Amino acid sequence: MKTLLLSLSLLLAALTSLQARANCAMDQTLCDAQCSIEHFGDKAARLGCESRCAAERAACSTKAGAEKAVELGKKALRDTGAFIEGFTGDKDKQE
């Protein structure tokens, strides 16, 4: 049983470190699974570990949302600039 748990733990560690992870939900699922393996017989420790996983997911989701907001803000700024340029531009230049 210990060998199986150790093997699963090593597999999870390898999977999580192979690629840069962007999916916050998948990260939490992997983290929760790792907590269940590492703290198999200690419910309090497992719950503490899972609480850390939830906090990490909240931070991940916040970061992803902030990055999307910045991206949309930059696009809105470009679109506004293009609108103003089109609105104030010389009509003869466009023809």
CA pair distance 10, 7, nearest whole angstrom: 5
pTM tops 0.75, yes or no: no
The type of residue at 17 is: S
Identify the residue whose tokens are 């466009």: 94
**What does the pLDDT look like over 4-33, one tens digit per residue?**
555 655 555 555 433 344 688 899 999 999
**What does the pLDDT look like over 41-65, one tens digit per residue?**
999 999 999 999 999 999 988 888 8
CA atoms lying within 13 Å on the CB side of residue 56? 18
Element counts in the chain: helices (H) and strands (E): 4, 0
Q: How do the domains of the chain map onto residue ranges?
A: 2-86
